Amino acid sequence: MNSPVATLDQVVADLDRVLGADSLAALSDAERMDVLRVAGEALRRVEAVVVETVATADPVDFAQRLGCRNMNEVLQRVLRTDARGAALLVKAARLVTSETELITGAPLPARWPALRAALLDGAVGVSGLLAATASIERAGTRIGTTDRLHADVMLADFARGASSVDGAAAGDVAPPATPEDLRLFGSEIAMILDPDGAEPNDRNAMNSRFLTIGREREGVFPVRGNLLPETKAQLQQIIDAQLNPKGSGPATPGVAFTDSTPDDEDPFNSDPRNVIDPRSPAQKRHDALAAALGIAARHEDMPSLGGAAPTLVVHVDAKEVAAGAAGWARIPGIDGPVSASVALHTACTGAIQRVLFDEGRIVGISVTDRVFAVHQRRAIVARDRECLIPGCHVAASWCEIHHVTEHARGGPTHTDNGVPLCWYHHRSLEYSGWEIRMSDGIPQIRGPAWWDAARRWRTPRHSQPSRAAPEPANR
C-alpha cells in the first residue's frame, strides 16, 4: 500500500509532465474547458488533503514540535502561502474536525459532517465550505445542533447540484453550486433558523459604520469606511445615474424610448464608439461622486456653513493665477498645499472673492460673480442636454457650466458663453485635445486628430437648432 506522500509525489510528477510538454497552448476550446474542469477537480481535492491533514492534527503540539508559533505559521512556511490564505485553511479545518468524547474517548462527528464528505469527494472546495457555513456560524448558539445538521445536509446536496428540499422532484439535479451560490443559500437558511438575528446584526452594523479620509499621498487622499446598506444603495443609485450611457438625469421608473437614427445624422455625433474614454470604471465612479458632491453643495436643502452654502475656498497668489504660472494653493481642510491648477478649476465654476492683505491686515474685499444663475443653467441644460463632448452622455443637469471664453480673459457669464461639461471632461479639457467655441450662441466642438483627422468644427447633435426653433430663453 502506497503512503500518502508517495501517492502525492506521483501526482506532482504527473502534473510536471503536463506542464513540461508545452501542450496547453495548442488546445482547442473544448479541450481547454476539459483541462480546466479536471484541474478544478484536482485543485479541490488538494485543498481537501491539506484541510484533512490539518484537521487530524493537534494544532498546538504539532506547531510547537516544528518550532512554530501556531498552525498558521506552519502552513505559511510549508505551503508558501500568506497569512490570510493559511488562516482560511485553519478555519476550514476547524469546521470539519472530528472531536472526541471527553469521558469515553469515542469519536464524535464533525461539526459539518455532510459538507466534510462533500469536501473529501471534491464536490466543494475551501472557499465553498467557508461560504456555505458563514451565516450559520455567525448565528452561533442561536441555531441548535439539530437545525445545523439539517442545514449541513441541505448545503452539501446543494453543493453537488442535488436537491434535498421538501417537494423537489426525485433525481432533480442542477449544476454544482459556486461559492457565491452557497453563500446566498446559507444566508437564506440562517434567516429562517434565526429570524431574530437581524436586530442585533443591525445594531452591530450601526456601530461599525464609519468614513475616514486619510492623509494626502502623491496628490490623492485614501478613503476608507463601512457604509450601511441603505447608504451604499443610495450612493450606487447616484453613481449609476451618471454612468448610465443613456442617462438623462435622475432615473425614473418605466420604459425609456429613444428616437431612431436619421439617415443624414452626423456619424461623429451619433456613435459613442468614436470617442475613447480612457478612464477605468473605478475612476468613473470617483468622478460621479465628485459631481454629486458639487450638486449637493449647491442644493437649497443643504445645511449652510456660516450663513452660506458649503463652499470650496481656495487661497492662492492672484499673480500666479493671472499669469497662469505653476504654483501652490491652499484649501481649508487640506493639511498641505495643492497645485494652483485646483484654484483655476474651482474658480471656473464659482465666484472669486479677492481679499487684499497688507502685512496681515485686511485692506480690501471684492467679489466677482462668475456663477451662472439658475435660469441661465436651465437654458443651457435645455439647449445642450448633456456633456458637450461627443459620446459622453452625462446629463447636462449633472454637469458643471464651463466658460468657453475664460472669465479671466473677459468672457461673460452668459448663456452665449456657457456649455455643460461633466466633471471629468471639464478638468481634462486643457490637455485632452478638445476645443470649444461659440457660433451665434450655439456651441461648436473640434476634437483631437485621433478622433477627426480633418479637425472640423462641429455642432454637437443635441445643440443643433430644431426646425421649429423655440422662443429664446430669458437671459
- pLDDT digits over 336-369, tens only? 566 656 656 665 555 555 555 555 565 555 555 5
Domain-embedded: residue 238: no
Domain-embedded: residue 351: no
Domain-embedded: residue 163: yes
Domain-embedded: residue 313: no
Residue with cell 436586530: 199
Domain-embedded: residue 70: yes
Mean pLDDT for the stretch of residues 127-142: 94
Number of domains within the chain: 2
pLDDT band at 296 (very low <50, low <70, confident <90, very high): confident
Does the pLDDT at position 470 exceed 50? no
pLDDT the model gives residue 83: 93
DSSP 223-252: EEEE--HHHHHHHHHHHHHHH-TT--SS--
| Total-model pTM | 0.51
pLDDT band at 133 (very low <50, low <70, confident <90, very high): very high
Buried b / exposed e across 375-408, counting CB within 10 Å, b at 16+?
ebbbbbbebbbbbbbbbbbbbbbbbbbbbbeebb
Pairwise CA distance, residues 345 & 352, whole Å = 12
Pairwise CA distance, residues 452 & 446, whole Å = 8
Using the 3D structure, point to which of 200, 218, 251 is the last residue of a domain.
Answer: 200
pLDDT the model gives residue 259: 44
pLDDT the model gives residue 464: 64
Domain-embedded: residue 95: yes
Using the 3D structure, point to which of 168, 200, 232 is the last residue of a domain.
Answer: 200
Per-residue pLDDT tens over the stretch 6-26: 999 999 999 999 998 788 988
The SS3 call for residue 449 is: coil
Domain with 400 in it: 374-463
Domain-embedded: residue 389: yes
pLDDT the model gives residue 166: 46
Pairwise CA distance, residues 320 & 326, whole Å = 7
pLDDT the model gives residue 291: 77
Using the 3D structure, point to which of 200, 235, 255 is the last residue of a domain.
Answer: 200
- DSSP state letter for 426: H
Domain-embedded: residue 255: no
What's the chain's average pLDDT?
Answer: 78
Burial category of 289 from C-beta neighbours within 10 Å (exposed 0-12, middle 13-18, buried 19 and up): middle
